[in-house]
Amino acid sequence: MNRLKTLMGKWFAEPDQFMRGLTNEDLRYSDRDKLILDVNGNARLNMNNPDVGRAMRARMEELAQKS
Closest CA to 40 of 65, 13, 20: 20
Q: What is the mean pLDDT of residues 18-42?
A: 72
Classify residue 15 as exposed, middle or buried by CB count within 10 Å of its CB (0-12, 13-18, 19+).
Answer: exposed
Comparison of pLDDT for 33 and 14, the residue scoring more:
33
- Reported as a pLDDT band with limits 50, 70 and 90, residue 23 is low
- Reported as a pLDDT band with limits 50, 70 and 90, residue 18 is low
Q: What is the mean pLDDT of residues 30-49?
A: 86
